[in-house]
Structure 1
Amino acid sequence: MTVMDDPGTVERVALLIDRERMREILQTRLPGLRAPGLVIDDCQIVHTRYRTSAEDARRGKAFLSVCYELAVHGGAGGERHLFHVKAYRDGRSRQKFAEASSAPTVPPPLGAAVTHLPELDLVVWAFPNDPKMLHLPEVIIREKLRRHLPYDRLAARSDADVSIDVVRYKPEVRCITRYGLRTVALYGKTFKHDRARVIAGRIEALAGELAEAEDAFVIAPPLGYSAAARTVWQTELPGTPLPRAIERGGCQDLLARAALGLARFHALRLPDLPRTTLADRLAAAAAEAGELAEAYPWLRARLEEVVARLGEAAPRLPPAPDGLVHGDFLLKQLVVHGDRLGVFDFDNLALGDPIQDLANFIVDLGYHGFEARHVGAMTAAFLPAYRAHAGRDVPEARFLWHVSVQRLRDAYYFHKRRQLAPGFTQEVESMLAGAEDPR
């Protein structure tokens, strides 16, 4: 039994994911937004995270986190404001608010740093305040930011007119921000964890390996890291996102270039990487399938059968040599940069089976609204090109094993973010069917 079996909780979720109703609630109940002349023109949801398992409930976790972007006119600090809302049950928000109030905060551009809405059992954080990233204001508030920018790696120092634009914010996990200086633009990726030094070191090593390879991926030039701000810096790498470029045409050429770049990437050797194995992949998928079975009990037998089949098949798969694994090789990680492709996101680099990246990429092709025949054509262009450039076989059984694992894991990923969206149950069943028959 999960918290979603409680009708009252389901009603609260329906409220929290209703942008118009939440616009009205936030307008009337958040401090600082009740002032005359301040009006929320629009409310967008930029991130959701469900925690609805029995274990989550036992640990008293918020059953839903939502990040809203509010367009406000008549206020200070510009028109765009982010608010991170966590929803609790049984009055737990009171204790959570007390804990949040005792933590360091900064005055936000609008409203209070942390707000308690007891009648809705909610705690609200106004960006850049974040319950897990207490250091986030260091890279968002201009006066603090200057202590951390990598001026020693830039051609010229510019203290004036630094523009700060939040590109992607995942509350309690990471924040990607663009900084415009007078002569250069750079990006900072700020983490909850303290692995910025390790990730920055791997990016430096990767940049060195790719420097002379004209047919390989290009990456944004590294600019080091800030240990205090837990942030990795890179110069901006402009380009057209690959999904958008594919929509404009020439997909076969783009996919062939992606295949070549990935083959070159997999051949690189970086020092001191963690190792990932088939057993690691399967263990993660099995744990996630267990939570899916709890949420969708009528799918339990099918989920358990898929996990069992994958476990039985793993030891019998044709061998494949280890190589560099990107770990999150999706279309969104690629841009068309001139006549080359740029690649991003090196948080999950590992030594392991590179076929994992192929499977992730092919599965991801199905999530961008492309027609099925278009996806088939792109797959047909990508895999043979990769095989040709990699100079080694990609055993079909091993590739399909990874496809099955990825579809199973994607079902869980989307479940944590969209489980009450209209028609989502059918989507889960479709992804499970794809895991059962990955061809």
Structure 2
Amino acid sequence: MTLDPHFPQMADALNPAVMGPLLRWVLNMPGITPGHVECCIGEKRHKPGKSLVIAYRLNAQSDPIHQSRYVTGRLCPPGTEGREFEWALSKRPDLAAGALTFLHEPAMLIWAFPYDPKLIHLPALLAAESIKNRIGEQDLTGDDRVLAVESDVLHYLAERSCMIRYRVSLGGADETRLLYAKNYADDSGRDVFAVMQQLSSQFAWGAKALAYDLQTRTLWQAHVPGRTLCWADLQTAEALAERIGQCAAAFHACKIDTAQRFNQSDVTEGLLATVRLAEQTRPELAERIESAVAALLVDELNLPKPAVATLHHDLKLNNFLVDGDKLGLIDMDCVCLGDPMADLASLIGNFYLHGLREGDSVEQVHPLVKQLVRSYMAHSVHALSLPALRWQVAAALIHEVTRRSLRQMDDLRIAHIQSYLALSENYLALSRHPTGFNDVLI
């Protein structure tokens, strides 16, 4: 268990057996007995000495009642929870009763979904009458009158964003249309909308933006058929890794105008941040991570000047959408300009992350990585330097895979950190050779 002197209560906050009864009491779930409540802990975001935000889901069953409730807990230094509660409440005097409360033990603020400290428009976006009017005002259904709307929350990231799917019943025809809305904590969705508009004519199959609602900070998107990829698909579908490589190359060939950049200096800062994080949370790993980062920074000086391309900057399996022979990308929040090798390296790191987490060995992941890179090389408009790509993979295994594992306190991922580090060291050693056997990556 990671320890943080700033939050000595974090062990209890991360224990479902402790939090389940407390959250059931806070939420006042009627008709549910304690033995019928399952408390699940989801996304965790930890900044040592600064903050810890934990997403909880309570699943309750007591015939004929079934309830699922989402809660966000933000830990407070013990003794400050009352003051922080009053301060948070002063900023949101319009909150409904029970939307925000606090616990003395463990000391934390509790936000009951759909209330969120930063997603202030979320309750209205999930209220049937309110959203029915909003859809009409945004002219998202043409001349068809909106009769009814049903909503499903697809992904909620506390204090950051929420993706909602709407089933819209339209007048004038027996028709139901699917619309998607991503609500943001700030105005970043406006820039995402501008980028998606530029991509729509160049990248044939992917997320499509319809409108951006500045008042509610909401990006509206059209339905794209298909399902997101998982590791089992790569294990069973022949040539899927090759199709992923072709898709990534096609995305990198797009031309966009944006101020957003991901530079080599950002990679460097990510590496150094991983060292600091390990020192604070996993001192038993800190020395090895520091040594690996030091070696990377020495060799960084020899990297060739990178190309500049359109980066997805969040290339991971569940952001690829497959529908038969079509393969595309969703979640364009992080699209920017930068080195395509860094983007491809991020995807390779995600292959190893999924493979190891699903029980495959490193040797079983290598062939899929080779297929990915060979396909990318065959379809890319950008020259690919194998030594530079190997360096970027070595770096991504630390500043992305390892750092996120530590920050999210994901025990399943943390269990493989030694393997990530060994892989990083191997890729760095290979990067010092101009070519590999048959010019393959690994």
- Name the TM-score, length of structure 2 as normaliser: 0.85
- Find out whether 1:206 has 2:199 as its counterpart: yes
1:94 aligns with 2:87: no
After TM superposition, give the deviation of residue 207 of structure 1 in Å. Answer: 0.5
| Deviation string, structure 1 residues 152-174 (Cα, Å, up to 9, x no partner) | 23345443331111111111111
- Give the C-alpha shift of residue 202 in structure 1: 0.6
Q: Choose which of 39, 60, 71 in structure 2 pairs with 1:83.
A: 71
- 2:292 aligns to what? 306
Which blocks of at least 5 consecutive residues in structure 1 are unaligned?
212-217
Q: For the residues of structure 1 that align with 2:413 and 2:326, how far apart are their CA atoms?
A: 39
Distance 1:3 1:336 in 2: 38
Q: Contact 2:162–2:184 (CA<8 Å) still a contact in 1?
A: yes
Contact 1:158 / 1:181 at 8 angstroms: preserved in 2?
no
Shift of 1:65: 2.1
Query: Which residue is 1:41 aligned to?
Result: 37
| Residue 388 (structure 1) aligns with | 378
**Which residue in the other structure is 1:224 paired with?**
211
Cα separation, 2, equivalents of 1:105 and 1:223: 33
Which residue of 307, 317, 321 maps to 2:303?
Answer: 317
When residues 117 and 399 of structure 1 are mapped into structure 2, their CA distance, relative to the original with a 3 A threshold, is same
Which deviates the most, 131-140 or 350-359?
Answer: 131-140
**2:128 touches 2:148 (CA, 8 Å); kept in 1?**
no
CA contact (8 A) 1:133 1:172 kept: yes
2 CA distance for matches of 1:180 and 1:306? 50
Cα distance in 1 for residues equivalent to 2:228 and 2:2 = 38
Corresponding residue to 2:184 among 172, 181, 191 = 191
Distance of aligned partners of 1:273 and 1:258 in 2 relative to their CA distance in 1, 3 Å threshold: farther
Provide the alpha-carbon RMSD of the alignment. Answer: 2.9
SS at the partner of 1:153? coil
The structure-2 alpha-carbon separation of the partners of 1:237 and 1:105, relative to structure 1 and needing over 3 Å to count, comes to farther
78 and 208 in structure 1: CA distance in 2 versus 1, 3 angstrom threshold = farther
Q: 1:23 aligns with which of 20, 42, 48?
A: 20
1:5 Cα offset (Å): 5.7
How far did 1:235 drift?
A: 1.1
What residue is the counterpart of 1:437 in the other structure? 426
Q: Given residue 199 of structure 1, which amino acid in structure 2 is its aligned partner?
A: V
Report the AA paired with residue 427 of structure 1.
Answer: H
Q: Deviations over 1:123-145 (max 9, x none)?
A: 11111111122222232222332
- Of stretches 230-239 and 292-301 in structure 1, the one that deviates more from structure 2 is 292-301
Residues 152, 166 of structure 2: 8 Å contact kept: yes
1:370 CA displacement: 5.6
Give, in angstroms, the shift of residue 366 of structure 1: 1.8
Query: Paired residue for 1:371?
Result: 360
Mean CA deviation greater in 301-310 or 333-342: 301-310
Amino acid at match of 1:50: H
Identity %: 25
**1:13 correspondence with 2:20:** no
- CA separation of 1:171/1:100 partners in 2, compared to 1, >3 Å: closer, same or farther? same
Residues 1:66 and 2:54 aligned together? yes
Cα 1:312–1:22 change in 2 (3 A) is same
Q: 1:266 to 1:423 in 2, by over 3 A?
A: closer
Q: Within 5 A, what are the aligned runs for 1:165-176?
A: 165-176=152-163
Cα pair 2:304 2:388 within 8 Å, conserved: yes
Shift of 1:398: 0.9
Deviation at 1:395, TM superposition (A): 1.2
CA pair 290-355 structure 1, distance change in 2 beyond 3 A: same
Give yes or no for contact 2:234–2:240 (8 Å, CA) kept in 1: no
Runs (4+) off by over 4 Å = 5-8, 35-40, 73-78, 105-108
Number of residue pairs matched by the alignment = 415
Contact 1:137 1:144 in 2 (8 A): no
Q: Structure 1 residues 345, 36: CA separation in 2 closer, same or farther (over 3 Å shift)?
A: closer
1: CA distance between counterparts of 2:64 and 2:258?
47
The structure-2 alpha-carbon separation of the partners of 1:397 and 1:282, relative to structure 1 and needing over 3 Å to count, comes to same
Give the match's secondary structure for 1:116.
strand
Equivalent residue number for residue 239 of structure 1: 226
Matches within 5 A, 1:83-162: 83-104=71-92, 112-149=98-135, 151-162=138-149
Q: Which of 392, 417, 440 is residue 402 of structure 1 equivalent to?
A: 392
Structure 2 unpaired stretches of 5+:
170-175, 431-442
* Correspondence for 1:416 among 391, 394, 407: 407
**Stretch of structure 1 that moved more, 153-162 or 353-362:** 153-162
Query: Quick one: distance in 1 between partners of 2:370 and 2:413?
Result: 30
Q: Which secondary structure state, in structure 1, belongs to the residue aligned with residue 135 of structure 2?
A: coil
Q: Find the residue that maps to 1:25 and give its secondary structure.
A: helix
Task: Specify whether residues 195 and 6 from structure 1 end up closer, same or farther in structure 2 by C-alpha distance, changes over 3 A only.
Answer: closer
- Quick one: structure 1 residues 77 and 356, their matched pair in 2 at CA, closer, same or farther if it must change by over 3 Å? farther
How far apart are 1:323 and its partner, in Å?
A: 1.0
Alpha-carbon deviation of 1:78? 7.3
> 1:215 maps to which residue?
none
